Amino acid sequence: MKTRLLALALFCGGLLQAQDYFPKNDGVKSKNNNYTAFTNAKIYVTPTQTIDGGTLLIQNGKVVQSGKSIALPQNTVVVDLNGKWIYPSFIDAYSKFGIEQAKRAPRSGRTAQYDSSREGFYWNDHVRPETNAISNLKYDDKKAKELRQAGFGVVNSHIQDGIARGSGVLISLNGKGNDADRILNDRSAQYFSFERSIANNQSYPTSLMGSMALLRQMYHDASWYAKGNIATKDRSLEALNKNKDMMQIFYAGDKGHVVRADGIGDAFGIQFAIVGGGDEYERIADIKETGAKLILPLNFPKAYDVSNPYHATYVSLADMRHWNQAPANPKILAENGVSFSFTAHDLKSIKDFKTNLLKAIDHGLSKTKALEALTTVPAQLLGASGKIGSLQNGRWANFLITSGDLFDSKTTLYENWVQGHKNVISDMSLKDIRGDYTLSAAGNTFLLSIRGEAGKPKATVKQDTIKLSPKFSYKNDWVVLSFTDKDKNNYRMTGLVSEASDNLNGKVVLATGNEGSFTAVKTKAFEKPEKGEKNEKAPPELVGVTFPNIAYGNTLIPAAENLLFKNATVWTSEASGILENTDVLVKNGKIAKVGKDLSTGGAKVIDATGKHLTAGIIDEHSHIAALSINEAGHNSSAEVEMEDVVDPEDKGIYHALAGGVTSLQLLHGSANPIGGRSAILKLKWGESAENMIYDNSPKFIKFALGENVKQSNWQSFSRFPQTRMGVEQVFMNYFQRAKEYEVRKKSGQPFRYDEEMETLVEIMNGERFISCHSYVQSEINMMMKVAEKFGFRVNTFTHILEGYKVADKMAKHGAGGGTFSDWWAYKFEVNDAIPYNAAIMQSQGVTVAINSDDAEMIRRLNQEAGKIVKYGGLSEEEAWKMVTINPAKLLHLDDRTGSIKVGKDADLVLWSDHPLSVYAKAEKTIIDGATYFDIEKDKQMREAVKQERNRLINMMLKEKAGGGKMQGAKMKRKELMHCESL
């Protein structure tokens, strides 16, 4: 007891020490060079190095030594820990501690702000590497206390706003020192994200792909600046270059973004440490491949309250599953050798940190890995292993004293020492007074029972059999107890607990004001309720992960099979036309044979009698499977890539497969005259984005004309172009500049690498093709003339609803047309759109495809082709080509897919009926010989989905009954995308 008070006094003296060379006028200078030794402890020097019954010796805030038997210097204060445990305290590498949240900039009216608001910095206000946490830091005592209570000793804080967020600061949560002591590193890590600065209104970038392109261009420009090629001052690029020596940390926030961030790093030789989202387990192989160290928010979703069956309707299977599976994420990452640290970022209440930590352990995370994630990994990640993260000699004396195993729910955290300063969380010197007592006061007898946690016990008082409602506290060795007895007399008592006796006694004051003394004689020691210990918790029940991890995901990603379709009506989309009673053999993902009575050769036989086999449908214009569609921040966005934002988890992919679609072009939207680069996908449901994108994919870009790029249909009057006249000038200017760019590039002189210009040069050189959103004849004609001026060809006009008016010119130019079957009347420029358009263009020699631009219509493109027979009288064979070989031609994929021809990819659909008919259903949709949609399997999946939902709902009801924390029913919902989606 005395020791405790003494130690406290000594350290209070110590912390008032100022720097040696500072003048002192309020007393005399004095120094405390005493040692403190913590003896008889189990010490985790590192997560893997422990000392039983060891001693930890510290001096001047640092660890001097630890070991089993240490010779203690004479000026040592000894604290006998009596079997307690010592751990290094935790480190949070992703914190905003002490930094004021950026304030949302007021919206600047309807007119977009295109230019930067700063001078002498990078052209984009969302790139702010010059900002730093140290200049914005204000030590937050209250927050520090909360964090220490959760076990943290050091955090790396930074400004969480913008795409390049500047440098962080490594700070000890040392409430007793000042910033001179606390700041361990004022240039600690450089931070990035994909998210715009909320404090700035500059319009670019509006999209994820824009953020990604901006980051790339930023790195190109930084290196251009470093070489001294920019005459003016750019403090942003200067800072970015200067901060290169730090650890680079990227806030991703979900598994897909982890891969995206890592990809950007790879392109510039940077290995980011990446803040994840807790869903990495769903794509563990891809995450592992990044090689990145992760920082994981220790935040698990709460169960949904589904007790109202109507509410349950609004909870998706994916969200239910994530609730169930997410706590296993750390374990799965650890098992796969992914190194990670934990952060309290994202937690609404810091108290959930320990709950979630224990949950992760319950779900199989090893205690060693957990401790590493809290100590050594973040230390290493921040390049601060020499200072923090362990209790090796010379490290800061940042450590926890606990009653036992840190990862046991019953363990008490007593103290969190930071830089040699004690912070009491729960008083460990308190005597355990729990037990039953006979309490006598003022001639009355009561039964006092003290239970609960030793450090924070609770009391009940009974008079005979009547339960009273006492107020009780036990702090700093004093008990305070008050209650009212059955005769409404009140008692107030207090007493100091004595080390010598198990009984309690002290002073009592009665309602009358009379004072006396009370005694409480211990009759029974406290018995730990050991029952719970015996029945070990059953391991958590987890549902299986599918690819993607939503309803109708695949348990296993489909593999190619050798298949023989017997006796089908085969629509070849080739000169051979429609073949009756024909067999098609698929081998190794390719079409191996087409003919009559083919032998099986070991292939799986599918009886296709009475059915129709066609090539898979190709949609030349789609916006499904995308996380964003338009980068609307500039009128040209040639630098952005749809490949960056492919969303392989969009159920729209499954819907499209169920409609017989096997490939599509994922186009940028129509916000800008010069849009972004396309992604061309095979709809391999369950695969990663990367595996859906065609190998050696033909390169495409979206252009757009007319009302959307003029911003005619909403209140926007500031952006060039506002007229079709201006649209032409945008193209003329960009292509002229690209030409000049190429000349300089080829000249061997140094040049600023420009992602936009590179793309336009590709177009002029015929290496990248244009798919141009267009409606009226004047603009179609204009675009062809611009192309001809710069010596290239417009590959495809998409929408092209007035193509029929200039079909002869298009044929001469060599442009194809991808059009709607029967859309019109939705805006002024489609007033003359007619459903005969496709047939007329075809009649003039234009290669015509029917496309969707719509998540619903994509699953009925066979019917849309059927309409071309109705409108314009095309033959059924030719109409069918408009959704197969013709789009393949437009996409330069006709040597690989789009028809049934030996040697081509086995991208096939088996239809129940004539494929142009409204009555036809796709029964099997096959890509590269693997079946991605099967109507029979779909039936089984329906049943499985129903059962799994039910199982999870029951689990959540159980969670609710068990008092678990719940959240209200809600559903995240993807927006259905089309050309104009922002």
Task: Please list every residue from 284 through 313 that binds other proteins, using CB under 8 A.
Answer: 310-311, 313
From residue 705, how far is each of 120, 480, 758 by CA, in Å?
35, 80, 22
CA proximity to 54, closest of 67, 37, 63, 70 = 67
Determine which residue in the list 317, 433, 930, 956 makes contact with other proteins, applying CB under 8 A: 317
Q: How far apart are CA 448 and CA 452, in angstroms?
A: 13
Q: Pick from 246, 424, 468, 869 the residue near other proteins by CB under 8 A.
A: 869
Choice from 114, 289, 969, 981 touching other proteins (CB under 8 A): 969
CB of 912 to other proteins, least distance (A): 8
Q: How far is the CB of 946 from other proteins (least distance, A)?
A: 8
Query: Which one, 866 or 887, has the nearer CB to other proteins?
Result: 866
Closest CA to 796 of 834, 841, 860: 841
Would you count residue 444 as binding other proteins (CB under 8 A)?
no
Residue closer to other proteins, measured from CB, 800 or 807: 807
Stretch of 3-11, 136-144, 898-906, 911-919 lying at the interface with other proteins (CB under 8 A) = 911-919
Residue 316 engages other proteins in binding (rule: CB under 8 A): yes
Contacts 24+ apart (CB under 8 A), 879-884: 879/916, 880/571, 880/573, 880/614, 880/915, 880/916, 881/573, 882/838, 882/842, 882/848, 882/849, 882/850, 883/617, 883/618, 883/619, 883/849, 883/850, 884/571, 884/573, 884/614, 884/615, 884/616, 884/617, 884/618
Cβ proximity to other proteins, 562 vs 712, nearer residue: 712
Q: Which of 690, 656, 642 is nearest to 858 (CA)?
A: 656
Q: Nearer to other proteins by C-beta: 371 or 874?
A: 874
In angstroms, the CA 677 to CA 654 distance is: 24
Residues between 347 and 406 that touch other proteins (CB under 8 A): none
CB-CB contact of 320 with 304 (8 Å): yes
Among 56, 183, 318, 810, binds other proteins (CB under 8 A): 318
Closer residue to other proteins, CB minimum distance, 576 or 947: 947
Residues 651-680 within binding reach of other proteins (CB under 8 A): 651-652, 654-655, 658
Give the shortest CB-198-to-other proteins separation in angstroms.
10
Q: Which is nearer to other proteins, 397 or 857 (CB)?
A: 857
Which residues ranging from 781 to 810 are in contact with other proteins (CB under 8 A)?
804-805, 807-808
Candidate residues 921, 937, 951, 960; the one interacting with other proteins per rule CB under 8 A: 921
Give the shortest CB-359-to-other proteins separation in angstroms.
Answer: 24
Candidate ranges 83-91, 278-286, 760-768, 966-974; the one touching other proteins (CB under 8 A): 966-974
Nearer to other proteins, 10 or 918 (CB): 918
Residues in CB range of 536: below 8 A, 6 or more apart: none
Q: Cα–Cα distance between 499 and 875 in angstroms, integer?
A: 102
Count, residues in the chain: 982
487's CB contacts (< 8 A; 6+ apart) are none
In whole angstroms, how close is the CB of 229 to other proteins at the nearest point? 41
- The smaller minimum CB distance to other proteins, of residues 205 and 835, is found at 835
Task: Tell me which DSSP letter residue 330 carries.
Answer: H
Q: Which is nearer to other proteins, 198 or 511 (CB)?
A: 198
Q: How many other CB atoms sit within 10 Å of the CB of residue 390?
A: 23
Please report how close the Cβ of residue 975 comes to other proteins at its closest, in angstroms: 6
Q: Given the DSSP bridges, would you call strands 76-80 and 62-67 parallel, antiparallel or unpaired?
A: unpaired
Judged by CB under 8 A, the chain residues 701 through 760 that form the site for other proteins are: 707, 712-713
Contact 328, 542 (CB under 8 A): yes
From the CB of 174, what's the least distance to other proteins, in Å? 36
* Binding residues among 870-899 for other proteins as defined by CB under 8 A: 870, 872, 876
Stretch that binds other proteins, among 121-129, 501-509, 780-788, 919-927 (CB under 8 A): 919-927
**346 binding other proteins? (CB under 8 A):** no
Show the DSSP H helices in 712-827 as ranges.
Answer: 724-746, 755-764, 777-789, 807-813
| Residue type at position 41 | A
Which 809-838 positions form the footprint of other proteins (CB under 8 A)? 822-828, 831-832, 834-836
CA distance 579 to 597: 13
Nearest distance from residue 160's CB to other proteins, in Å? 16
Measured from the CB of residue 660, what is the shortest distance to other proteins in angstroms?
Answer: 12
CA neighbours closer than 13 Å in the CB half-sphere of residue 46: 14
Shortest distance (Å) from residue 125 CB to other proteins: 20
- In eight-state DSSP terms, residue 642 is G
| Token pair in block for residue 628 | 């964003």
Q: 721: cis peptide before it, omega within 30°?
A: yes
Name the segment binding other proteins (CB under 8 A); options: 295-303, 690-698, 863-871, 923-931. Answer: 863-871
**Pairwise CA distance, residues 406 & 373, whole Å:** 14
What CA–CA distance (Å, rounded) separates 722 from 709? 8
Applying CB under 8 A, what is the total number of residues that bind other proteins? 71
Structure token pair of residue 922: 């796709």
Q: Is 106 left (phi over 0), alpha (psi -120 to 50) or beta?
A: beta
Show contacts with other proteins in window 163-202 (CB under 8 A): none
CB of 672 to other proteins, least distance (A): 19
Selected binder of other proteins within 147, 855, 910, 955 (CB under 8 A): 855
Interface pick for other proteins out of 913, 951, 966, 981 (rule CB under 8 A): 913
963 exposure class (CB count in 10 Å sphere: 0-12, 13-18, 19+): exposed
Question: Between 618 and 657, how does the x/- string for binding to other proteins read (CB under 8 A)?
Answer: ---------------------------------xx-xx--
Residue 257 in the binding site for other proteins (CB under 8 A): no
Positions in 927-956 near other proteins (CB under 8 A): 938, 942, 945, 949
- Is residue 918 at the binding interface for other proteins, with CB under 8 A as the rule? yes
All residues at 6 or more sequence positions from 438 whose CB lies less than 8 Å from its CB, including other chains: 445, 446, 447, 448, 520, 521, 523
Nearer to other proteins, 208 or 701 (CB): 208
Nearer to other proteins, 10 or 976 (CB): 976
Sole window of 289-297, 315-323, 459-467, 637-645 interacting with other proteins (rule: CB under 8 A): 315-323
Cβ distance to other proteins smaller for residue 428 or 661: 661
Burial class (CB in 10 A: 0-12, 13-18, 19+), 120: exposed
With CB under 8 A as the contact rule, which of the stretches 391-399, 502-510, 626-634, 970-978 interacts with other proteins?
A: 970-978
Least Å distance, CB 833 to other proteins, is 8
Nearer to other proteins, 272 or 685 (CB): 685
What residues from 544 to 603 belong to the interface with other proteins (CB under 8 A)?
A: 550-552
Helix (H) or strand (E) holding 153, with range, is: strand 152-157
Q: Does 866 bind other proteins (CB under 8 A)?
A: yes
> Which tokens belong to 928?
């590269």
Q: CA 417 to CA 395: how far, in whole Å?
A: 13
Pick the stretch among 119-127, 342-350, 452-460, 963-971 that binds other proteins (CB under 8 A).
963-971
Q: Which is nearer to other proteins, 55 or 884 (CB)?
A: 884
Q: How far is the CB of 409 from other proteins (least distance, A)?
A: 32
Report in angstroms how near the CB of residue 825 gets to other proteins at its nearest. 4
Q: CA geometry: angle at 125 spanning 121 and 131, to 5°?
A: 65
How does DSSP assign 207-256, residue by residue?
A: SHHHHHHHHHHHHHHHHHHHTT---S--HHHHHHHHGGGS-EEEE--SHH
What is the per-residue DSSP string for 858-891? GGGHHHHHHHHHHTT---HHHHHHTTTHHHHHHT
